[in-house]
Amino acid sequence: MEDDLPDSAPDGGPRVPCDDACCQVDGGLLRGGSSEVAAALATAGFVALWHGRSLTPEELLPGNVDKAVDGAALLVAQGRAEMDEAGRVVGIHGLTLRITRHRFDVAGRHRNTWCAFDAVGIPAALGLDAVAVTDCPTCGARVTVEIGAGVPGGGDAVLWLPRPPAANLLAEFCSSADLFCNVDHLHDRIDAGRVPGRVCDLEAAAALGRTAWADVAEVVDTSS
C-alpha cells in the first residue's frame, strides 16, 4: 500500500522514522499475504464470528476442504487466526470471541478484537455507529472513541501502529497496536524515534482500517 499518512505526527512534530513496511497495513496484514485460501478463510471466518458462530475450516470453505485445513493451520502458526480445542475458528481478521482489552460496541453488543487498531478500523470499514473501547497502556485509563457512520470523532487519543510482523501477527503487531490517551502518554512508553512504527491520529487509523477490512465490508451483513 502506498504511504498516504501526513508528513507530521499528531503532536505536530516530525514524522516518525520508519521504513515502507510500517505503512503497508492492507488486507494482507491480517489475512496472511496473497494466498487465496488465506483470504477466503479470513473473510468467511470474520463473517461467521460476526454472527457469533465459530466454525471449522472445513465448514468455512466446504468446497476446498484439504486446503482449508492446511491454510488454517498456517494462519494459526502465523498468529493470524485462533482455533479452539474442537478445531473451530474463534479469532480471525482482527475479530475474536475471546474477552480482550479491546472491543467495539455496536447495537448494544460487545465485539472483542485483537488490538486497538482493530477496534477502530473494523467499525470504520463497515461504516458503523459504534464505540471503540480500550485502555491506555501508560496510565491504565479507559479510552473510548465515538464512531459515527464509520468516522471517528475528535479527541486526543492516538494509535501506535507497529511495523507489520515478520512471523507472528498477534505476538509482534497486535500486542502493541494500542490507543493512548494522548501523544505524551505514547511517548512516555514508546521511543518513537527508535522503535519501528508510526503514531497515527484517529482519522488516519480509520482510513487504514477501511483498506485492511475492505473485503469484509463487501459481504458482512451488519444489520444482524
* Final residue in a domain of this structure, among 58, 73, 96: 96
Q: Which residue has the higher pLDDT, 50 or 30?
A: 50
Domain that holds residue 177: 98-217
Q: How many helices (H) and strands (E) does the chain have?
A: 9, 11
Q: Which residues, 6+ apart, have CB-to-CB distance to 109 below 8 Å? A: none
Residue 217 predicted with pLDDT over 90: yes
Task: Name the one residue in this structure whose C-alpha cell is 489475512.
Answer: 31
* Same domain for 119 and 209: yes
Query: Residue 19: what pLDDT?
Result: 36
Domain shared by 91 and 180, yes or no = no
Residue 4 has pLDDT above 80, yes or no: no
Q: Give the model confidence (pLDDT) of 88-135 as tens digits.
A: 999 999 999 999 999 999 999 999 999 999 999 999 999 999 999 999
209 falls within a domain: yes
Shared domain check, 140 and 87? no
Q: Extract the C-alpha cell encoding 83.
A: 482455533
Among candidate residues 79, 96, 113, the one where a domain is terminated: 96
Q: What is the tally of structural domains in the chain?
A: 2
- Residue 1: pLDDT over 60: no
CB atoms under 10 Å from CB of 172, counted, come to 16
Q: What is the full DSSP assignment across 161-187?
A: EEPPPSS-HIIIIITT--EESSHHHHH
Residue 18 lies in a domain: no
Among residues 171, 169, 141, which one has the least CA distance to residue 155? 141
141 shares a domain with 41: no
